Amino acid sequence: MSQPLTVPPGTKVRLADFDPRFKNNDDEKSQVDDQIEANCQATADLAYRLYAENRRAVLLVLQGMDTAGKDGTLRTVMRGVNPQSCQVVPFKQPSIEELEHDFLWRVHRAVPRKGNIGIFNRSHYEDVLVVRVHGLVPENQWRTRYERINAFEGLLTESYVTIVKCFLHISKEEQRERLQARLDTPHKRWKFSKGDLDERNLWEKYQEAYEDALTLCNTEQAPWHIVPSDRKWFRNLTVSRLLRQTLERLDPQFPPCEEGLDGIVVV
């Protein structure tokens, strides 16, 4: 049994075709901790090399419905990475200043600098998701944003930013259980808002919006990865693998050291 993480560009994505509870037959919860730890250690070492090399950057984009696990994924996958070489940007409701610019202005400002790994907790895709579902701008405006997002991501890749886009795919029932757990757990209740229920009532509209984003912005230069996320451990394992594999392909190298250092003794 297998399920792809990616589909060829131009393929219509139907989320019903992807099981959010999927796991590989050779991946078991009881054995996954060591694999995740190995991925994190390798990522930390490669991130250090990327920082020293200072020529390229990596951008990890995490998108998903409420409770999909963006924060949990981030805490797991980035542990051990030097905070100096890591930038985390949560994209919430835009400020007045941000609204006075084009929708990509605040995003471009947050792109990781050379040598860094950047993580977008939500991203520029909110402008074809929330904006679309809630009718915050006319359709003739948000419809044009898919092409502009593709052009923007193309600009980033040409500027030596490697983009890893992960859609954390959960089921509606799993979301219900996670929202209820927030209500029932005192130290998690702060994370719950009545507005979460309003958003949940728009589930089908969000699924349609995500399917269009996953279809229209799935390119060779910045493909989408549809990560089954009902099982938190499999979600974390999958994203940690993706990030490690991305850095291994980049194979960052330490820069050459200054000449004439041999024989120097520090006193």
Sign, CA dihedral 107-138-200-191, equals positive
pLDDT digits (tens, 9 = 90+) for 165-188: 999 999 999 999 999 999 999 999
Which residue from 242, 209, 38, 84 is spatially nearest to 139, judged by alpha carbons?
Answer: 209
Q: Indicate whether 9 belongs to any domain.
A: no
Domain contains 199? yes
Assigned domain for 7 exists: no
List CB contacts of 118: < 8 A, sequence separation 6 or more.
57, 58, 59, 60, 86, 87, 88, 89, 110, 111, 112
How does strand 117-121 pair with strand 224-228? unpaired
Question: Band of the pLDDT at 2, cuts 50, 70, 90?
Answer: confident
Q: Provide the token pair at 15.
A: 């989320």
Work out how many domains the chain is built from and give that number: 1
Tell me what the mean pLDDT of segment 92-118 comes to.
95
pLDDT reading at 29 higher than 80: no
Q: Has residue 10 been placed in a domain?
A: no
Domain that residue 66 falls in: 15-250
Confidence label for 1 from pLDDT (cuts 50, 70 and 90) = low
Q: Indicate if the pLDDT at residue 95 is higher than 80.
A: yes
Residue 29 near residue 231 (C-beta atoms within 8 A): yes
Q: Give pLDDT tens digits for 216-267.
A: 999 999 999 999 999 999 999 999 999 999 999 999 999 999 899 999 999 9
Classify residue 8: in a domain, yes or no. no
CB 160 within 8 A of CB 57: yes
- What CATH number does the domain containing 56 carry? 3.40.50.300
Q: Mean pLDDT over residues 160-166, rounded?
A: 98
What is the pTM (predicted TM-score) of this model?
0.95
Which is more confident, 233 or 31?
233
Q: Give pLDDT tens digits for 125-156.
A: 999 999 999 999 999 999 999 999 999 999 99
Bridge partner list, 88: 119
- Tell whether 110 is covered by a domain: yes
Separation between Cα atoms, residue 217 and residue 129, nearest integer Å: 13
DSSP letter at 138 equals -
In a domain, 43, yes or no: yes
What's the average model confidence in pLDDT over 88-116?
95
The closest of 164, 155, 152 to 60, measured between CA atoms, is 164
In a domain? residue 6? no
